[in-house]
Amino acid sequence: MPPGIVVAAPASSAGKTTFTVGLIGALRRQGIKVAAAKCGPDYIDTQYLETASGRPAYNLDGWAMPDETLCAAAAAASCGECDALVVEGAMGVLDGAGMSGRGSTADVAAALAMPLVMVVDISRLAQTAMLAPVGLKQLRPSLELAGVVLNNVKSRRHLELACSGIRDAGIPLLGWMPSRPELSVGSRHLGLVAVADNAAASRTIDRIADQVAETVDLTAVQQVMSSRKTSHGRLESVAMRPPGQTIAIANDRAFSFKYWHMIDGWRQQGSSVEFFSPLGDEAPSRSADAVYLPGGYPELHASRLAAATRFRMGMHEASRRGCVVYGECGGYMALGRELQDASGKFHEMLGLLPHSTSFHEPKLHIGYRTLECTPNAPVAGSYFGHEHHHASVTGPKTGAGLFKAHDADGNCLGCIGHVSGSVCGSFAHIVCRRNEEHP
């Protein structure tokens, strides 16, 4: 892997994504080839990292991936040709899955043997800004905390007050970011607004890169990047078993939540992949023996999906010829009978599975999952995954389930998802294959 850093924070919404995309943009302007990755299962942040870096951004999941395969994904992100790897953390630096907190940003940094840079939001702090970095050094002394970037600085006096505490703690200050609305991107019900739905994403990243170049010591940041050698395996050991030899993958604004380590793993196992757009009313290729509908935002495009006749006919034809059809979250919703949007309107979906879904009374479902395929499933294996959605299954709970599921603490959740012949899906997103060495 190339030299790199992990960007952490004491809490969510501290400005990790803002600083990370700005740093990537500023480094690229200096002629540095930068690879990007995201801690945890988040799909939307990676879209901003991809826009900033100009290359696919990989997910590094410390809960789902053993250290060796986590490092394999990090190495794949750099493609063997990048000068630096910038990894954006998730939530607070010590926040992980379940009661154990396994898989936190700190755990990922330790596995990668990379230094941490902590972004501290001081919008409601001054000298207390030093509390989180000092606490991290005491709780995880084996980690290398390379420095702090202060975010949401309101004035020169505010910066001086916060810096005094940082200096007293002996922690390097690498820079700061002002409190300016134009340096942020919008949010909605699953986090940030997806890049495809944010026309100003590239311009916003450019503005943030301008700010980082002005108020962050880029030379100091590059100096703290380490180039430690880390052994790693192959992504084929991480990925879900390929559902077919030729896999057609839905890929557009309605179905954009895919993991590059999964797709690369399928390729390493000998499968070929091709993309198609349901929103463009495209059908999966007739040469495909498997169809994958990833998650995304079908609820925002339900009318167009309901009117996409070629897509509908192609999916039914694929099912009739025995293709394995697999849908995750948004893809699972599209495979059902109906989707009720937040306004209460019903939209006809593909009807390849017996369930319906609704956003009319949104309820947050979130958490890591251990998933064991049921005997009826057209796919096989045991996996680590996660759920993050506001939709719920409505109507009769008929049909066979796809997975036997447990949460991160081992509590049984029963069977989730549906299976009908060669068609299957659930709200869970698969992250990684499970093995006995990584319980």
List the catalytic residues.
Answer: 329
Q: Where are the alpha helices (DSSP H) in 172-259?
A: 201-215, 218-224
User: CA-CA distance, 80 to 202, in Å (whole number)?
Assistant: 26
- Label residues 56-88 b or e (16+ Cβ within 10 Å = b): bbbbbbbbbbbbbbbbbbbbbbbeeebbbbbbb
Beta bridge partners, 348, equal 338
Element containing residue 407 per DSSP (H, E): strand 403-407
User: CA-CA distance, 235 to 268, in Å (whole number)?
Assistant: 7
What Cα–Cα distance (Å) separates residue 415 from each residue in 258, 393, 401, 426, 431? Answer: 23, 13, 5, 10, 18
User: CA-CA distance, 72 to 77, in Å (whole number)?
Assistant: 9
What is the tally of helices (H) and strands (E) in the chain?
12, 24
- Say if residues 189 and 142 touch (Cβ distance below 8 Å): no
What Cα–Cα distance (Å) separates residue 320 from each residue in 219, 323, 352? Answer: 59, 8, 10
133: tokens are: 């970095």
Residue 91: left if φ>0, alpha if ψ -120 to 50, beta else—which one? left
User: CA-CA distance, 426 to 194, in Å (whole number)?
Assistant: 22
Locate the DSSP E strands across 202-359.
246-250, 272-276, 290-293, 324-328, 338-340, 346-348, 356-358
Strand bridging mode 34-39 / 58-60:
parallel
Beta bridge partners, 407, equal 369
- Say if residues 372 and 417 touch (Cβ distance below 8 Å): no
